[in-house]
Amino acid sequence: MESTLFPYKNTIESMIISGCSDEYISNFLKFECGVSKGASKVSIRRFCAEHGIQRERLQDSQLEMEVAKAVIETGPTYGRKMIKGYLASKGIKASEGRVGCMLRTINQPYHMARYHGSRNFNPIPYTAEYMGHKLHMDQNEKMVMFGVTHVAAVDGYSRKIVAHCTMPVKTNLTIYQNIYRSAVIEYGMWDQVRVDHGKEFYLTLFMQEKLAHLRNNREKQPYCQTPSTNVSLNS
């Protein structure tokens, strides 16, 4: 490795100091200097590490100017990853964390808009801490063509189906008696029941709230209603 790149040490060092990317240096050695082997990006990084050749760290003031210029050129929609890649394509190396800090400083309104938008794509991971923490109740209407609806209750921690029932007509009383009441009698009170906004769960939610003082963990709300896309039998 050293025998291949060592004759070009001064050239590589000067290009590194001037801010050239590894890819640019690799192409320069291959096409301008005729180095056929040992001039890949990985080889150049290894050679620089062995000989103590390092890029000068871009000052915060300089990086701020470059990020501001990049925002003007690319628009307000690029986040830290895209801006970092855009700067790298211009030979400007900076960590993703530093680029993110600069974007928060110089582009605050657009940063907040991207942040709130990203929450939709990266929701808070689901957690259930123990058996009896969360009870998910949902209905499966794939058999409605045969005149029946299947409703089930699943423990969020163990994923165990604790109660289920197939009914021709879904009513509050049927769901309460065959699903919620059956599960509570056999396993005990759940700290929180999670359902969608369907009216067929109203009696269940009423009883869950009425019996809320019997729960082990009373810090959480006794029930939670979320959109049907967020409540499923596989949750």
CB of 55 closer than 8 Å to CB of 17: yes
Report residue 77 CA to chain centroid gap. 18
Q: What DSSP string runs through 8-23?
A: GHHHHHHHHHTT--HH
Token pair listed for 163:
């109660």
Residue 233 reports pLDDT greater than 50? no
Q: What are the tens digits of pLDDT across the range 76-104?
A: 778 888 888 888 777 677 888 888 888 88
Residue 72 reports pLDDT greater than 90? no
Q: What are the tens digits of pLDDT across the range 143-199?
A: 888 889 999 999 999 999 999 999 998 899 999 999 999 999 999 999 999 999 889
* Domains of the chain by residue range: 2-50, 60-121, 134-230
**Residue 135 CA: distances (Å) to CA of 19, 65, 217:** 57, 52, 14
Task: Enter the CATH code of domain 134-230.
Answer: 3.30.420.10
